[in-house]
């Protein structure tokens, strides 16, 4: 998506893939700066290591606890997070509502992606969150943090088991899958069969190039509105682009077409 955007904006630059072994992130960032790179997107498994390898972390990324984008200016390395803001934009586009207006159930809230979505949603004004995780112990630090951010927040936890999930879905607008379930065909179902209704919205952070996930298929069968991780990829990429080129509006339709053609 970035190379079509660069061409559309008349920017003389290229977006390339660089393989970096774990443990060499700091070294690679120094090389990027030395060779005139403007910025970098950071993918797993490097996001946490990257946070320790920059000169400055912006306030939102500090809150979310992870960076996924590097901005290089005058030799200084600034780390930021575009996944959180990208989530807000893609929810707005997919469901025609702000996160602040919605009741969210986050599946896999104890992981890095789930934590980031939960924190970003509360920062954006969400007042009703249900957090589900296979290990309840992993949720305790997040519960304390979220209550500290918004003392009036209606915050609940839910076991990742069919009866509990069915009950939780009764009071929910949007189901967010922040687990890795769905990346592979044949993964176990996240929700009980028939639990989704047309009134629900489903946001699956997973996407597969070879077809939709089972969760998206279940949403479609229920008549529920849905979006997958491709939407997040698009919007976080657009935000990265605007970080790297201040004053330039990312050409979203061009970037969307680039993703589709890939």
Q: Where are the domains of the chain?
A: 2-81, 89-229
Whether 51 has a pLDDT exceeding 80, the answer reads yes
pLDDT value, residue 47: 81
Q: Which fold has domain 89-229?
A: Rossmann fold (3.40.50)
- pLDDT category at 24 given cuts 50, 70, 90 is very high
The stretch 109-135 carries a mean pLDDT of 92
Report the half-sphere exposure of 95 (CA within 13 A, side-chain side): 28
The stretch 143-154 carries a mean pLDDT of 91
> DSSP H helical segments within the chain, as ranges?
2-8, 25-34, 47-51, 59-64, 83-95, 112-123, 140-149, 162-169, 214-222, 229-244, 252-261
The b/e string for 182-204 (b: 16+ C-beta within 10 A; e otherwise) is beeeeeeebbeeebbeeebbbbb
Is 184 labeled as catalytic in the residue annotation? no
pLDDT value, residue 252: 97
Q: Which residues pair with 157 in a beta bridge?
A: 131
Q: How far apart are CA 100 and CA 82, in angstroms?
A: 18
Whether 207 has a pLDDT exceeding 90, the answer reads no
Q: How far apart are CA 131 and CA 242, in angstroms?
A: 32
pLDDT value, residue 112: 81
**Residue the block writes with tokens 């609940």:** 156
The stretch 238-246 carries a mean pLDDT of 97
For 128, residues 6+ apart whose C-beta sits below 8 A from its C-beta are 102, 103, 104, 153, 154, 171
Mean pLDDT estimate for the chain = 93
pLDDT value, residue 204: 95
Whether 195 has a pLDDT exceeding 90, the answer reads yes
For 184, residues 6+ apart whose C-beta sits below 8 A from its C-beta are none
The stretch 36-47 carries a mean pLDDT of 91
Tokens read off for 163:
């009866």
Of 15, 32, 39, 47, which residue is the catalytic one? Answer: 47
CATH code for the part of the protein at 2-81:
3.40.50.10860
Q: How far apart are CA 172 and CA 204, in angstroms?
A: 15
pLDDT value, residue 138: 87
% of the chain exceeding 70 in pLDDT: 100
- Whether 2-81 and 89-229 share one fold: the answer is yes
Whether 151 has a pLDDT exceeding 90, the answer reads no
Whether 232 has a pLDDT exceeding 80, the answer reads yes
Tokens read off for 47:
């996001």
Q: Residues 169, 193: contact at Cβ < 8 Å?
A: no
pLDDT value, residue 208: 77
pLDDT value, residue 180: 85
Q: How far apart are CA 244 and CA 230, in angstroms?
A: 21
Q: Residues 138, 106: contact at Cβ < 8 Å?
A: no
Q: How far apart are CA 67 and CA 182, in angstroms?
A: 24
pLDDT value, residue 185: 73
Q: Which residues pair with 103 in a beta bridge?
A: 128
- pLDDT category at 66 given cuts 50, 70, 90 is confident
Burial class (CB within 10 angstroms; exposed 0-12, middle 13-18, buried 19+) of 10: exposed
């Amino acid at each position: 998506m970035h190379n079509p955007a660069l061409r559309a904006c008349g920017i003389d630059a290229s977006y390339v893939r660089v393989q970096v072994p774990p443990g060499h992130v700091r070294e690679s960032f120094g090389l990027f700066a030395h060779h005139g790179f403007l910025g970098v997107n950071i993918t797993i498994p490097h996001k946490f290591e990257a946070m320790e390898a920059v000169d400055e972390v912006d306030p939102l990324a500090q809150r979310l606890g992870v960076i996924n984008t590097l901005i290089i200016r005058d030799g200084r390395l600034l780390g930021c997070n575009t996944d959180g803001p990208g989530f807000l934009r893609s929810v707005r586009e997919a469901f025609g509502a702000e996160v602040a207006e919605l009741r969210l159930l986050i599946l896999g809230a104890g992981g890095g992606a789930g934590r980031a979505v939960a924190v970003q949603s509360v920062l954006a004004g969400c007042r009703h969150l249900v957090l589900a995780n296979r290990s309840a112990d992993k949720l305790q630090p997040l519960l304390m943090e979220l209550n500290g951010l918004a003392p009036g927040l209606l915050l609940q936890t839910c076991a990742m088991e069919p009866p509990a999930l069915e009950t939780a879905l009764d009071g929910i607008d949007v189901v967010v899958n922040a687990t890795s379930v769905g990346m592979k065909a044949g993964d176990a179902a996240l929700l009980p069969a028939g639990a989704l209704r047309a009134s629900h919205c489903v946001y699956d952070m997973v996407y597969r190039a070879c077809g939709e996930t089972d969760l998206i298929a279940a949403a479609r069968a229920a008549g529920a509105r849905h979006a997958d991780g491709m939407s997040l990829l698009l919007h976080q990429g657009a935000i990265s682009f605007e970080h790297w080129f201040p004053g330039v509006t990312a050409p979203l339709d061009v970037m969307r077409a680039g993703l589709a053609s890939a």
